[in-house]
Structure 1
Amino acid sequence: MFELCDITAGYDRRRPVVRGASLTIAPGEAVGLLGPSGCGKSTLAKVAALLHRPDSGRVVMDGAPMGPGDGWRHRAPRARRTAVGVVFQQPRLSADPRLSLRELIAEPLRATGHRRSDADARAEEPAAAVGLTAELLGRRPHEVSDGQLQRACLARALVLRPRWLVCDEMTAMLDASTTAALVAVVEDYRREHGAGLLAVGHDHVLLNRWCDRTVNWSEVAED
């Protein structure tokens, strides 16, 4: 199970963005989190992805809670950090402009100790799954479209074969055909690996079609 228990979080302790949020995701389950812009759902997604330390509450992954000494972001234990893959709304803000798409996808592998050649080779499988050609893999972010770059960001999230996925408005900037393609990739991955999914968004039609269940922000967090 993946559990967010009574999470309060923000960027100023006096005015938290998220108050008392709780949400549970079972292995293999897809849960949609629906809410308007600015309600705090992206902050909660960052907490779930271990990218933002909450002010209070617990994150419990596979029965083990994150302890006060575990750290967050790159200081989290490797087994925890690599168990969660995350895709954000704006790919250009989450991609190093100096890297080719191949290097971008392989980045998590190199960060966990894989040799460059091995990492680049292992990046080929998720790159093919998201529909990136060899020619596109040699380009840098400014040389591809937003949709192509988001495909690379999704491949990067999958390259370590995480047990849990967090997709924060992953398709908000994409056209209908690219949205359908990327959702299909996520669903294929979930079926093959039994991964749980937290899909954050404001499009109730998409979330209802994509997810096993959709919860409103008002059901998750305090007003």
Structure 2
Amino acid sequence: MLELRAITAGYDRHSPVVRDASLTVEPGESVGLLGPSGCGKSTLARVTALLHRPDSGTVLLDGSPVRRWRHRAPREQRTAFGAVFQQPRLSADPRLRLRDLIAEPLHASGHRDAPSERAAELAATVGLTTDLLGRRPHEVSDGQLQRACLARALVLRPRWLICDEMTAMLDASTTAALVRAVEDYRRSTGAGLLAVGHDRTLLNRWCDRTIHWETLRG
């Protein structure tokens, strides 16, 4: 189980953007977190994905508290998460071709999978054609780049997916394709999902349950 207990976090200890927030996600469960822009959802998503250390509170993974963050987290905890964020162009190294972008976590973790084969497999899963894999971010659309970012999030076969406004900048057909790819992955692996967004209709259709931001805080 993934559990957040009384998380307070921000970028200035004197004015945190998240205060005393708690939630749980069971294995295989999809949970939506609904709230307006600027309320702190993205900060909480980064805490959940072990990318941002909270000021206080506890993140528990399978009952064990997380004590280190980002690259200092133990490999088994760090690679348990895959995250996709709202703006793919801020998440992608502009120097990398898409095949290398997708395979980037494999190189970073020293994984034994063949990077090119795994990248091609996941490209097909998220709807990227092979001709796009040789292109760099500036040579593809936002939707194509976000597909690559989703493939990158899946490359280490994570047990938990964090999708933070993943489809906010995309058209309806690309949104549907990305949601379908996430759900196909979850069905085949039993991964849990935290989907963060402000689109109530999308989250209600996508997730097993939706939590309103205001209810997280004590």
Select which of 59, 63, 75 maps to 2:72. Answer: 75
TM-score (normalised: structure 1): 0.96
Distance 1:221 1:184 in 2: 31
Query: Once the two structures are superposed, what CA deviation does each residue of 1:146-192 show, in whole Å capped at 9, x if it has no partner?
Result: 00000000000001000000000000000000000000000000000
**Shift of the alpha carbon at 1:221?**
2.1
Q: Which moved more, 1:146-155 or 1:106-115?
A: 106-115
Paired position in structure 1 for 2:210? 214
The aligned residue for residue 151 of structure 1 is 147
Residue in structure 1 matched with residue 42 of structure 2 by the alignment: 42
Name the residue aligned to 1:30. Answer: 30
Give the counterpart of 1:198 among 167, 182, 194.
194
- 1:114 is displaced (CA, Å) by 3.8
* Alignment of 1:142 onto 2:107: no
Cα shift readout 1:67-95 (whole Å, capped 9, x = no counterpart): 2xxx2111111100100000000000000
Alignment pair present for 1:102 and 2:99: yes
Cα distance in structure 2, aligned partners of 1:64 and 1:107: 28
User: 1:7 matched to which residue of 2?
Assistant: 7
Aligned-partner Cα distance in 1 for 2:69–2:60: 13
Distance apart, 1:42 and its partner CA = 0.4
How far did 1:113 drift?
1.1
Q: In structure 1, which of residues 121, 124, 127 is the aligned counterpart of residue 123 of structure 2?
A: 127
Aligned to 2:57: 57
2:110 corresponds to: 113
Letter of the 1:203 partner, please give it.
Answer: D
2:14 maps to 1:19: no
Aligned equivalents of 2:194, 2:217: Cα separation in 1: 15
User: Which residue of 2 is the match for residue 173 of structure 1?
Assistant: 169
The whole-number CA distance in structure 1 between the counterparts of 2:142 and 2:72 is: 30
Letter in 1 for 2:43: T
Q: 3-state DSSP class of the match of 2:148? A: helix
SS at match of 1:123: helix
Amino acid at match of 1:216: H
CA distance in 2, matches of 1:120, 1:173: 28
Task: Give the partner amino acid of 2:70.
Answer: R
- Displacement after TM superposition at 1:120 (Å): 1.7
- Listed one character per residue, the Cα deviations across residues 98-154 of structure 1 (whole Å, up to 9, x for unaligned) are 000000000000001147x92122111111100111110000000000000000000
| Alpha-carbon separation, structure 1, partners of 2:133 and 2:96 | 10
Q: How far apart are the structure 1 equivalents of 2:43 and 2:111? A: 31
Question: Residue 84 of structure 1 is aligned with which of 62, 71, 81?
Answer: 81
Q: Separation in 1 of the partners of 2:78 and 2:111?
A: 16
Aligned positions, number: 218
> Which blocks of at least 5 consecutive residues in structure 2 are unaligned?
none
Runs of 4+ aligned residues of structure 1 deviating over 2 Å after TM superposition are none
User: Between the two proteins, what is the percent identity of the paired residues?
Assistant: 77
Q: CA RMSD in A?
A: 1.0
